[in-house]
């Protein structure tokens, strides 16, 4: 039940983040930052050992990679879930940050 509440709140943040013009910038910028973090961690992990705790804090959807997809379509779906999940999570955090900062009327 708690998981459903979390997903509902996340969906509300995504809708608010994309629906309000002022927050759209925060959502998209933070989401792109999330994808950049995921790509950076993926690149670093190929050359160095990354602690699992750091990986799970900065890139939680990477757990889907443990499924070890075999076919190309499965690999694409897992990649979309990993990077898209990070985009949505970071975008929701950016929306919350955007709600805290208001522009001064000009």
Q: What is the pLDDT of residues 49-95, one digit of tens each?
A: 988 888 888 988 888 878 888 899 988 998 898 999 999 999 988 88
Contact in structure between 24 and 17 (CB atoms under 8 Å): yes
Residues 6+ apart with CB under 8 A from 44: 50
Cα distance between residue 64 and residue 67, in whole Å: 6
As given in the structure block, the two tokens for residue 12 are: 């509300």
- Phi, psi dihedrals of residue 103, rounded to the nearest 5°: -75, 145
Position 106 confidence tier, pLDDT thresholds 50, 70, 90: low
User: What is the rounded CA–CA span in Å between residue 43 and residue 36?
Assistant: 10
Q: Is the pTM of this model over 0.75?
A: yes
């Amino acid at each position: 039940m708690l998981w459903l509440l979390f997903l509902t709140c996340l969906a509300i943040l995504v809708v608010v983040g994309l629906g309000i013009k002022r927050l759209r910038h925060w959502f998209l910028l933070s989401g792109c930052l999330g994808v950049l973090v995921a790509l950076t961690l993926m690149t670093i992990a190929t050359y160095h050992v990354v602690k699992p705790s750091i990986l799970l804090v900065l890139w939680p959807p990477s757990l889907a990679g443990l499924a070890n997809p075999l076919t190309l379509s499965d690999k694409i779906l897992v990649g979309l879930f990993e990077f898209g999940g990070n985009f949505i999570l970071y975008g929701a955090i950016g929306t919350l940050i955007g709600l805290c900062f208001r522009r001064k009327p000009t």
